[in-house]
Amino acid sequence: MNFKDTMRTCETCGRNFIFTVEEQRRLYKMGKQDYEPKLCSTCREIDDEGVKLIGQVKWYNALKGYGFIAKADRSEVFVHRTGLADGVHDLFEGQEVEFEVRQSAKGPEAFNVAPIGEY
């Protein structure tokens, strides 16, 4: 198979994005060689609302009430104290968490954030 980076335009926001060789190879290995993304990574993230994700707390400041979670693809998502699951009052750097993503006025935001296992 001949892979090459290709420029695409997001059908939701109109921004240009690159459909990378790495992503094409990954999809090919999954048997989805005919798939071509129609949404940029930000809009795909928003489109995945309701899907549980796993990430690691990059940092969280309990006094300020916000921080960031590193997702599996190494991108980061903002988390506010109001996005913590019931009974969760703090997060710790390096802690593995499960969460969902929704669109806020300032961009993607984690919610229903809950620690995985003991920390």
Q: Which residues pair with 111 in a beta bridge?
A: 100
Domain range for 10 is 6-47
- 2-22 tens-digit pLDDT: 889 999 998 878 888 888 888
**Residue 100, in any domain of the structure:** yes
CA distance 34 to 20: 14
**Residue 21, in any domain of the structure:** yes
**Residue 36, in any domain of the structure:** yes
Query: Do 65 and 103 reside in the same domain of the chain?
Result: yes
Mean pLDDT of 28-44: 73
102 burial (CB, 10 Å; 0-12 / 13-18 / 19+) is middle
Q: Indicate whether 46 pLDDT > 70.
A: no
Query: Do 34 and 60 reside in the same domain of the chain?
Result: no
Query: Do 33 and 60 reside in the same domain of the chain?
Result: no
What count of other Cβ atoms lies within 10 Å of the Cβ of residue 113?
25
Query: Do 16 and 63 reside in the same domain of the chain?
Result: no
Closest CA to 67 of 34, 97, 35: 97
Query: Do 89 and 109 reside in the same domain of the chain?
Result: yes
**Residue 1, in any domain of the structure:** no
- DSSP code at position 34: T
| Residue bearing the bigger pLDDT, 11 or 45 | 11
Q: How many domains are contained in the chain?
A: 2
**Residue 101, in any domain of the structure:** yes
Query: Do 33 and 86 reside in the same domain of the chain?
Result: no
Query: Do 59 and 41 reside in the same domain of the chain?
Result: no
- 49-105 tens-digit pLDDT: 556 788 899 999 999 999 999 987 778 999 999 999 999 999 999 999 999 888 888
